[in-house]
Amino acid sequence: MLIDGKLVESGSRFANISPTTEEIIGYAEDATAADMDAAIAAARRAFDGTDWATDHAFRRHCLTQLGDAIRENAEELRRIDVAELGVPVTATGLTVDTMLPRAAQLAELAETYGYERPLPNGAGILRREAVGVVAAVLTWNCGFFLWIEKVLPALAAGNTVVVRPAPETPWGSTFIARLIAERTDIPAGVVNVVTSSSPALAVQLTEDPRVDMVSFTGSTAVGRRVMAQAAGTVKKLVLELGGKSANIVLDDGDLRAAVATTVGQSCAFAGEMCGMLSRLLLPRSRYEEGIALAAAMMRDVEVGDPADPATRQGPQISAAHRDRILGLIATARAEGARVVVGGGVPDVARGFYVQQTLLADVDPDSTIAQTEVFGPVVCVIPVADDDEAVRVANNSVYGLNGAVWSADRERALSVARRVRTGTISVNGAHYFQNAPLGGYKQSGLGRETGLWGFEEFLETKAIGVS
């Protein structure tokens, strides 16, 4: 762990379990409440007692050092993601390679962002400044991505941070903590990393009055609890929560490309992606054709050891999560869904695996259509026309992601504008780091990525001048 500039141990450790082998691959420090208290105190002192928040050039220098260290150790980060998360090595480009330019961008932004600008009509100054102490509560599914889109933007904006990694994936965060301690000039207390097997320490962090802001990624159910915990001290919140995103294929859309997009997402991270396009909405005229395409693609997915470059789908994160997915598939069967592909576990000797699963004839109001599965499960739903596609897409408590496919760009845009979701792509367009990522409805609060993600970690002050 990293607390107040020092790499420290706790009184005990907890096991890091490989989702691929079901074996212990190592250990992480199991922090106590006293450890968390020390980390919060260090972050508070560093924010209140140093010029970290105001010395923009120094922050750029430190974050450039960190970015360089991360780039030099990218292969080790890749190995960690494969080992503790079970992501296929061929998919680590998303969690590692595409993130490296963002680190450099944030380092530059730390110095070049316009923190002060004139108010209209010469009335004074509009100033943007750091929020204070940020609690970064990380989930387990995205590896290094969450550091890039939570911790580094918070630091670039001048905040100090206490990072609480998910207990399922502690090593990525502790590895970066070591780089901070050994390879950068980041002052003591600016970054603190506290690993723990107990959710009680996350509660301690989000409730502590010395913490000014909480940035959390995880399920909507846990997000609601985080909101309640932060409410006592009215903390600023950024919540990136669940999704049940719709992939809408219009009758003139590229069906093969659309289906390939959904199947690709269902296997790259074993479906453990909040923005996965898990509902495939097909026109009735092409419904069976789309099901056949998806079934063929899913049957071709190579499931196995994530360290093998031939593998396209690795394991789920834990036995409990695997069993939850299988339970939802069983519920879908009971509620009338037709299992076209999968529905169980693959023929592997060990590991927390679930088969690629394709469910057809899914009722839009059924449990499987309304619940975030967070696994390799795709629901196919027939729709009559564009209007019904929009209604079905919006029939969800979530609103995180989406996609529309049509040969008519304006028609696709018309549908995209009507879908209540924070991000949506037309014909497979990629926007990613240059656009805001976040949700409508119960998919979250605030935005990550791009300039918007950086600005979430800033307060706004109006200074009147006469």
Mind listing the pLDDT tens digit for each residue in 268-320? 899 999 999 999 999 999 999 999 999 999 999 999 999 999 999 999 999 99
Q: Quick check: 228 pLDDT over 90?
A: yes
220 and 270 in a single domain? The answer is no
85 and 229 in a single domain? The answer is yes
Mean pLDDT, residues 425-439: 87
326 and 358 in a single domain? The answer is yes
- pLDDT of 326 reads 99
395 and 460 in a single domain? The answer is no
307 and 218 in a single domain? The answer is no
Give the CATH number for residue 350. Answer: 3.40.309.10
| CB-CB contact of 20 with 89 (8 Å) | no
**Nearest alpha carbon to residue 130 among 464, 465, 456:** 456
Mean pLDDT, residues 419-444: 92
| CB-CB contact of 418 with 404 (8 Å) | no
Of the candidate ranges 30-44, 118-132, 184-198, 350-364, the one whose mean pLDDT is the lowest: 118-132
| CB-CB contact of 225 with 256 (8 Å) | no
Q: How high is the mean pLDDT of the chain?
A: 97
- pLDDT of 27 reads 98
Helices 100-112 and 56-72, axial angle in degrees (round to 10): 170
Domain limits for position 123: 2-241+444-464
The set of catalytic residues is 240
Q: Quick check: 246 pLDDT over 70?
A: yes
- In the DSSP assignment, the letter for residue 97 is G
- pLDDT of 95 reads 82
231 and 250 in a single domain? The answer is no
110 and 228 in a single domain? The answer is yes
195 and 277 in a single domain? The answer is no
Farthest-apart Cα atoms in the chain, separation: 75
- pLDDT of 443 reads 98
Q: Quick check: 29 pLDDT over 70?
A: yes
Q: Quick check: 188 pLDDT over 90?
A: yes
Global confidence as pTM: 0.96
Give the CATH number for residue 37. Answer: 3.40.605.10
* Strands 160-164 and 402-405, bridge-based pairing: unpaired
pLDDT band at 21 (very low <50, low <70, confident <90, very high): very high
| CB-CB contact of 406 with 250 (8 Å) | yes
Number of separate domains in the chain: 2
14 and 94 in a single domain? The answer is yes
Mean pLDDT, residues 176-199: 98
- pLDDT of 432 reads 64
Those residues with Cβ within 8 angstroms of residue 247's Cβ, 6 or more apart along the chain or in another chain = 258, 261, 262, 277, 279, 280, 281, 402, 403, 405
266 and 198 in a single domain? The answer is no
158 and 282 in a single domain? The answer is no
281 and 423 in a single domain? The answer is yes
